[in-house]
Amino acid sequence: MIYADNAATTKMSETAVKAMLEVINDNYGNPSSLYSIGQKAKEALEEARADIAGVIGAKPAEILFTSGGSEADNQAIISAAKTGEAAGKRHIISTKIEHHAVLHTLKKLEKEGFEVTLLEVNGDGLVTPEAVRDAIREDTCLVSVMYANNEIGTIEPIREIGAICREKKVPFHVDAVQAIGHIPVNVEEDNIDMLSSSAHKFHGPKGVGFLYVKKGIRLFNLIEGGAQEKGKRAGTENVPGIVAAAAALKEAVANMDKNAAYLTEKREKLIAGLKEISHSALNGHPVKRLPGNVNFCFEGIEGESLLLLLDDKGIQASSGSACTSGSLDPSHVLLAIGRVHDVAHGSLRLSIAEDITDADVDYIIKSVKEVVEYLRGFSPVWRDLVAGKSQFIL
């Protein structure tokens, strides 16, 4: 089996599993308890917080643990909106290619009377700092831009956008779920005020994430209850998950340069191989791109069929096809970079991890070529394209 859907989730690292089991077996106390095993759990929790803060250039007090990236996105955006509203500011800027955790939160705020500007991206999926500057108004209370896109892997000019937000004194939130642990992120240098992350994207456990909130930025609760996380997130802390997340992240960051170089080489090999398929196109930026992300459109075929047949060949991947999402529209990201519906349905995302070998890469290329050719063989769309009855787009 070749697991090539690491943007969806990753396998936990051995280090993370070990760290988690240690807590489960030996350090099961409640961090809020006064007696020794409670305090030992509290120590482990605070050590994890300090480790994570250290890795992204934050202070421990600026890290809030959540159930994952979606909760962190929700809390950051809703907090900024509430703070803004109190000052009469009800305008939010984001982009068309954000994760649904951001887009759907913004939709909800729109219904509550906020005005949302979703910036366009170019054909490579890049949003320009200039576009952010032009969109900022007197009543803008938040700019939210993702660090790297989960579908097409494009890395956004976060530092430059952050600098503009600082200059304009607008809070800047970054969904860094796909970036943390894979590419360098430093909240101080990148001018970030709030940042969301999720542990299962960097070989940590599912159900754990964190929100970085710069000192001085006000946070509102999504979950009411006990005084955990300085009263900003009630509920007994997921200590095993949090400790495992910190262990996974430290490991990922310690090996980041090595891993990124290795993955980039394999990525380029995959891209070169898949480009040999006629009427195909790479989605996302060719260079400013996550090391492990490959995303292609193949004309004349539909993505779900492609995924199912690749699964039969032992390859697990993902697609932006409508049929894989249960909706009628293909991926909003592919549409935003200018892929028309017909082509967007035929997309394939491969997101590789460090365990991939050269033999795997060769096998993936060979298999995708075979499946695309097979599906085109009985596709009426492909027949019309080849017969000249309709025009090739790619």
Partner 1 sequence: MALYSDKVMDHFRNPRNVGVIEDANGIGEVGNAKCGDIMKMYLKIENDVIEDVKFETFGCGSAIASSSMATEMIKGKPVSEAMQLTNKAVAEALDGLPDYKMHCSVLAEEAIKSALDDYEKRRQEEK
Q: Which helix (H) or strand (E) holds 66?
A: strand 63-66
Exposure class string for 209-229: b at 16+ Cβ within 10 A, else e: bbbbbbeebebeebeeeeebb
**Is the CB of residue 229 less than 8 Å from the CB of residue 65?**
yes
- The SS3 of residue 106 is helix
Kindly give, in sequence order, each residue whose CB lies less than 8 Å from that of residue 257, ignoring residues fewer than 6 positions away.
none
Cβ nearer to partner 1, comparing 74 with 319: 319
Minimal distance in Å, beta carbon 311 to partner 1?
Answer: 10
**Is the CB of residue 194 less than 8 Å from the CB of residue 172?**
yes
Total Cβ atoms within 10 A of residue 61: 12
**Is the CB of residue 219 less than 8 Å from the CB of residue 213?**
yes
Interface with partner 1 (CB under 8 A): 300-305, 308-309, 312, 321-324, 326, 328, 330, 341-342, 345, 378-383
Cβ nearer to partner 1, comparing 170 with 322: 322
Minimal distance in Å, beta carbon 315 to partner 1?
Answer: 15
Cβ nearer to partner 1, comparing 85 with 342: 342
Q: Which helix (H) or strand (E) holds 111?
A: helix 100-111
User: Which amino acid does the sequence have at 144?
Assistant: S
Cβ nearer to partner 1, comparing 151 with 193: 151
Is the sign of the CA dihedral 154, 356, 276, 339 positive or negative? negative
The one catalytic residue in 141, 165, 297, 323 is 323
Exposure class string for 355-365: b at 16+ Cβ within 10 A, else e: ebeeebbeebb
Cβ nearer to partner 1, comparing 183 with 386: 386
Minimal distance in Å, beta carbon 328 to partner 1?
Answer: 6
Minimal distance in Å, beta carbon 379 to partner 1?
Answer: 4
Q: Copy the structure tokens of residue 143.
A: 């700019």
Cβ nearer to partner 1, comparing 136 with 301: 301
How would you classify the pairing of strands 91-95 and 115-119?
Answer: parallel
Closest C-alpha to 301, from 271, 280, 273, 272: 280
Cβ nearer to partner 1, comparing 233 with 345: 345
Please give the Cα distance from 105 to 94 (Å, whole number): 11
Cβ nearer to partner 1, comparing 291 with 303: 303
For residue 5, the cross-strand partners are: 351
- The SS3 of residue 85 is helix
Minimal distance in Å, beta carbon 321 to partner 1?
Answer: 6
Q: Which helix (H) or strand (E) holds 50?
A: helix 36-56
E strands of the chain, at which residues? 2-3, 63-66, 91-95, 115-119, 140-144, 172-175, 194-198, 209-213, 280-282, 293-298, 315-316, 347-351
Minimal distance in Å, beta carbon 349 to partner 1?
Answer: 16
Known catalytic residue at 323: yes
Closest C-alpha to 2, from 378, 295, 359: 359
Minimal distance in Å, beta carbon 99 to partner 1?
Answer: 22
Q: Which residues are catalytic?
A: 323
